[in-house]
Amino acid sequence: MTTSTSANPPDTLRIAVAQLNPTVGDVAGNLAKAREAREDARRHGAEIVLLTELFIAGYPPEDLVLKPAFLKACARAVEALAADTADGGPAVIIGYPRIEAEKRYNSVAVLDGGKIIATRDKVDLPNYGEFDEKRVFDIGEMPGPVALRGVRLGIPVCEDIWGDLGVCETLAESGAEILLVPNGSPYYRGKVDIRQQVVLRQVIESGLPMIFANQMGGQDELVFDGASFAMNADKSLAFQMSQFEDQVSVSTWKRGADGGWVCANGPMSVIPEREEADYRACMLGLRDYVNKNGFRNVVLGLSGGIDSAICAALAVDALGEERLRAVMLPYRYTSESSITDAEACARALGCRYDTVAIEDPVQGFLSTLGDMFEGTDEGITEENLQSRARGVILMAISNKFGSMVVTTGNKSEMSVGYATLYGDMNGGFNPIKDLYKLQVYALARWRNAHVPPGALGPSGEVIPVNIIDKAPSAELRPDQTDQDSLPPYEALDDILECLVEHEMAVEDIVARGHDLATVHRIEHLLYIAEYKRRQSAPGVKITRKNFGRDRRYPITNRFRDRD
């Protein structure tokens, strides 16, 4: 392979996109992944390897960027990777946090010929939703193109193509021929279509083809889904990489008669439909949270209900049957059908299944509190003792065997506070935290009919149909169902989505056909449960507005929409 000069520009360019799964803070591990990707790209004849935003640090590094030692480690790793390029193999474009004159930048380094030949800094720093980059980074200068292998490349960084600062247009006016964009764009439902619309707008405005390289993997609440792609200058899809999979793919670009570049060939993967995408996001988020944080295995309470059943399926699919311990924790109100259903679910998944009755600990609590509670009516307090006894037992198993507790509350419950602090909210991670109840049911039905790529669990019906068909219940008192105190989930989930995702006014929600008093009650429950959500385990972001990073409401809050 020879390096072209501007006097003899190439007519063909092979560009590898590496959508990989870095770990925040694992600088040495991320460097190793970058080197492996470069070798893979070399074997396939690539001349340039494009990695993703802040790859060497892992994304998002958040306040790690404030540590000088961390920045030095990242710089040394980039310099080591630059030295590798002295071998005449592919050039590398890689993201890293850069410090200069006491300013910190979200940067990319261009590596070739054994050195860093250029750096470019992110101009448009996002400060919304899950992003808080203005907290830790300084704004970069408007970039110009980088001459690499005889081609003038524009390298805007992620938000630089999402905002309206004109970064792509400036690069085009400065002579860029192709736009290569490293991204850290996390998943939410429908995000692939939104990215393509963003790229389409920039392609139209700049008149240049664009390669969108996106990170893959889970990082705390965020899941990065890959799905890297490119768009030709004529607005056609040039290539599409897979979603939720590590991948290094090479595309071939040819210079046309007009001097512009067109993708001659590249991968064309199919993007999953909604339920599959959501399920795979939950599975990937759980897998990476457990593995990246060093947990050997997980434990959860398997109640015979839909939420714990789908969490069990996700755990087996993500980690394997040998790494899940499911525990049935029955009390006097636990129905025989729930015991039967839980056992059937565990058997279908092939995981370990234990039974630990909670009658003795609950009665112990009631006896201990007997004098204090004398003369009062039984109610929610006594019901919550059941949940808290279960939580204590699961945490004891966690402590004894080093298993992370998977908590199983869905977004509908978390919204209205129908979860018990220090009880069923106990746990290290919640894979369905951002799924409303009806979405949980939809994913359960989907999983019974499909095995997602990369899943370690079995095919066939892994969630017994009886769990899906029966009325949901916490079973904390005789004949209890969720709809004793909540509207049907068809109504509840719609009201919640209006309030949480869309911030709609009460009158507009009522106009959709909902009862005014019900909407007021759900709004009130949503607000007063904020203190519980602040103490809940992290969980996979699936919607555009999850609880936590995306929705930062005050705990002390007397506002109610009564106009």
Which residues does the annotation mark as catalytic? 53, 122, 158
| Sign of CA pseudo-dihedral 455, 34, 74, 187 | negative
Residue among 116, 82, 124 at smallest CA distance from 100: 116
Tokens 């001097």 -> residue? 259
Query: What is the DSSP annotation of 434-495?
Result: T--HHHHHHHHHHHHH---TT--SPSS--S-HHHHHSPP---SSTT--GGGTS--HHHHHHH
How far CA 290 is from CA of 21, 67, 218, in Å, comes to 14, 25, 10
Residue among 286, 289, 272 at smallest CA distance from 446: 272
Tokens 């001659």 -> residue? 264
Contacts of 334 (CB under 8 A, 6+ apart): 303, 304, 475
Q: How far is Cα 248 from Cα 225, in angstroms, rounded to an integer?
A: 14
| Sign of CA pseudo-dihedral 491, 494, 497, 502 | negative
- Would you say 540 and 311 are in contact if contact means Cβ atoms under 8 Å apart? no
The sheet with strand 403-405 has its strands ordered as 352-355, 324-328, 297-301, 403-405
Residue 162's CB is within 10 A of a number of other CB atoms, namely: 20
Report the run of H or E that residue 49 belongs to, with start and end: strand 48-50
Tokens 């300013």 -> residue? 103
Contacts of 23 (CB under 8 A, 6+ apart): 29, 30, 58, 217, 292
Q: Please state whether the peptide bond connecting residue 60 to the residue before it is cis, i.e. omega within 30 degrees of 0.
A: yes
Residue 250 φ/ψ, nearest 5 degrees: -110, 130
Q: How far is Cα 83 from Cα 165, in angstroms, rounded to an integer?
A: 34
Tokens 């995702």 -> residue? 501
Q: How far is Cα 30 from Cα 36, in angstroms, rounded to an integer?
A: 10
